[in-house]
Copies of this chain bind each other. A is one copy, B any other.
Amino acid sequence: MAPTASVEHEELPAPSPDEVAPRFAPLYRQIKTLLTKRLRAGEWKPGEPIPSETELAARFRVSQGTVRKAIDELAADNLLVRRQGRGTFVASHLEARTQFRFLRLRPDNLPEAKPTGEPHPAMPGERSVQGQVLRSQVLECRRARGSAEIFRALQLRAGESLVQVRRVLDLEGEPTVLDEIWLPGARFRGLTAERLANYSGPLYALLEAEFGVRMIRAEERIKAVTAPAEVARVLHVKAGTPLLRVDRVSSTYESEPVEFRRGWCLTERHHYYNELG
């Protein structure tokens, strides 16, 4: 394909006469890497469209099909969202479709409606998601110490500053989850209880909009425990009630961990839902 005359041509990184790791990376993966770097660098912001496939093909001097395959993988990784007839967009936690992508707690009844992502109207301060009414209430937000485990998970040196957020999630009006969240202070300086309280939306949407940090993926480790006294008090249950303790480490681009979260979940009327493929 002849590149459009007016389009400036950007060279691919030199064919690397003698690289180490994957001796030969397919062209479309090189393109994918380049696109990932630009996303990470913020060249296109969440919610914005990236250039069309044909334009990218011209820029990189490859065929449209090759760009397409790179974008296919980025879309499969949830970094990009394709919209037929409109373009390809940088994924965002601000959009209804991808909000609460990481929330795995479901009410026990409710005929497992496939997540449509179309929110229903709800009371102020509440959000409706997958048919359940959700309300978040911030208990505190302060600089805090963290365990060695947390520093390790976030790949920080001991002594680096941490911000801790504690909040309760009400599902259907009942306090159901107590979240204890630790964030690296360096990235999230200026996060306060007020800003959290004034913001009605998912936490990740706020972190994305205000701090430019987009959560891409996470891993969770789940145990069954008995409720500590303090947790029990917040969730209005007796100390010793069995709870799900869900530890989550979430990451941005290139698997860089930026959040450690410990959720204490009451599963009297809810469950953690998971699909195995």
Contact = CB atoms under 8 A, between A and B. Distances in A.
Interface of A: 77-78, 101-102, 104, 106, 217-226, 242-244, 247-248, 250, 265, 267, 271-277
Q: List the 3 closest A-B pairs by CB distance, nearest first.
A: A224-B242, A223-B267, A222-B272
Contacts of A221: 106, 271-274
A157 B102 CA distance: 36
B218 A276 contact: yes
Contacts of A243: 224, 242
Nearest to A112: B219
A145 to B, nearest CB: 23
Contacts of A274: 104, 219-222, 274
9 contacts: A78-B277, A104-B274, A104-B276, A218-B276, A220-B274, A221-B273, A221-B274, A222-B244, A224-B225
A197 B244 CA distance: 33
Contacts of A250: 276
**Highest count of chain B CB atoms <10 Å: which of A217, A226, A272:** A272
A109 to B, nearest CB: 12
Contacts of A242: 224-226, 242-243
Contacts of A272: 221-223
A101 B276 contact: yes
